[in-house]
Every structure is written in structure tokens, then in C-alpha cells.
Amino acid sequence: MNIVRSFALIAVASIAAACSSTPSKPAAPPAPPPAPAINVAGNWVITVDSQFGSQDAKMSVKQEGTNLSGTMESPQGSMGYTGTLVGNNIKFGFSFNAQGTDLKIDYAGTTDGTTMNGKVIIGTFGEGTFKGKRQ
């Protein structure tokens, strides 16, 4: 009996030792850091091409999270605007009175942080395209 107990004790000890020395699974590699959010804050030149021709405007951008605000300066004057940036999708716009007519201008496009491009809707007068370049 003592021999059987001894073998049983040795077997249990061997199994316990084997379990404690088995290497654990390697930890999963750390997740890569999230892609940096696009930052469009700063000064831009926006070129609009429409049925009215091509026109440049200077645009200053303030960014707080996904919210954008700032001013656009063109030969028609300086206008404040608001907008959003979600991922690489940018939208902004403003309203102004053009010779007695209220006019809403809306921009929608994409950006990589140094350039932007997309479509501009010029109230009921139609639409065009825009391109922007960071200064």
C-alpha cells in the first residue's frame, strides 16, 4: 500500500509541477494607437468654381473637436461660418444678404488636413465645386 501511495503522490506532484511550468499563452499584442483625428485649424485658401466663374476666398478655421467656426473673406466681404468635421467629411456654410436677397452657401466635401475638396451649393442659384489648400 505504501508503494501505491508513494506512486500516487509522485504522480500528483509530477502533474502539479507540469501544470505550473507550462508556459502561459502569450499576451495579445497591444492594439495600435487610434489614427490621429484630422486637424483643419488654421488658414486656408478656398477656390470655388461655379457658373459664376472661379473665385478665391481666404478662410480661417477654429476647431473644437468636430465643431468648426471661423471667417471667410472674399471680394464680397467677410462672413462668419460654422461647420463640422467627422472623420474626413467636412461641412460648413453661412448665410448672407446679397443685394436684398438672403443667400445660403453650403460646402460639403472631404479633407486630409492639408487639402479639401467637394461640392458647394449656392442657394437657389445652383452649385459648383470647391478646393481648399492649407496656408
Res 100: pLDDT: 86
pLDDT single digits (tens) 35-66: 568 999 999 999 999 998 999 999 999 999 99
pLDDT single digits (tens) 95-121: 988 788 888 999 999 999 999 999 999
**CATH code: domain of residue 103:** 2.40.128.120
Q: Is 86 in contact with 93 (CB distance < 8 Å)?
A: no
pTM: 0.73
Provide the domain count of the chain.
1
| Cell numbers linked to 124 | 437657389
Indicate the pLDDT class of residue 3, thresholds 50, 70 and 90: low
* Residues spanned by the domain of 102: 1-135
